[in-house]
Amino acid sequence: MNTKSDPSFKDKVIYHGQRIDLVLRTSPGNTGRRIVREVVRHPGAVIILPILPDGTIIMIQNLRHTVSERLWELPAGTLEADEDPGACAARELEEETGYRAAEILPFGWFYTSPGILTEKMYAFVAAGLEPGRQALEENENITVAPVNPAQALAMVQRNEIVDGKTIAVLLKYLTRTKRTGRRAERSVPARKK
């Protein structure tokens, strides 16, 4: 819901950060009484599923300081102000993996945690990959790891991949591949005309 177009929602910023704002959102409850909720406003983000011609998925192992663990993930990143999600996906792919893509194809979007967070995550499939050098930010500790599709699915099932956005995009992609019977590199979404 866009609070800018709904006058019944009122936001009061109680913390303004570099990437997020914490707001107290006042809205009408189902009894007519006003309810106050804590909401994290987020500019949105992208997640990229990089696929090599043989179907191998380029994953990363990312040291996440928030949970003090190294997590298996797909490359992802936060949108800059007014940044196009496709441009952000190309930038983040190259920064985190070193790969450049001939094609960055839209693969849907979802809310990551709509009970508390406004983050809208745009998913992309990257194809026509050319290897290069990572360009990590100072706070990033990322290792690139190619994984075949069967191995990725097994890692989800064994709870080795615990990053929600990665699980969502991998399963969407892998179930589409299985359902259609197409090989992984053939199941890249068709380009919109």
Which residue numbers are catalytic? 138
Angle CA 125–65–123, to nearest 5: 15
> 59 near 74, Cβ under 8 Å?
yes
Of 51, 79, 81, 45, nearest to 163 (Cα)? 45
Q: Which stretches does DSSP call E strand in the chain?
A: 10-16, 21-28, 34-41, 45-50, 57-64, 69-73, 76-78, 100-111, 120-130, 142-147
Report the candidate in 34, 41, 49 with the shortest Cα–Cα distance to residue 127.
49
C-alpha span between 152 and 193 (Å, rounded)? 31
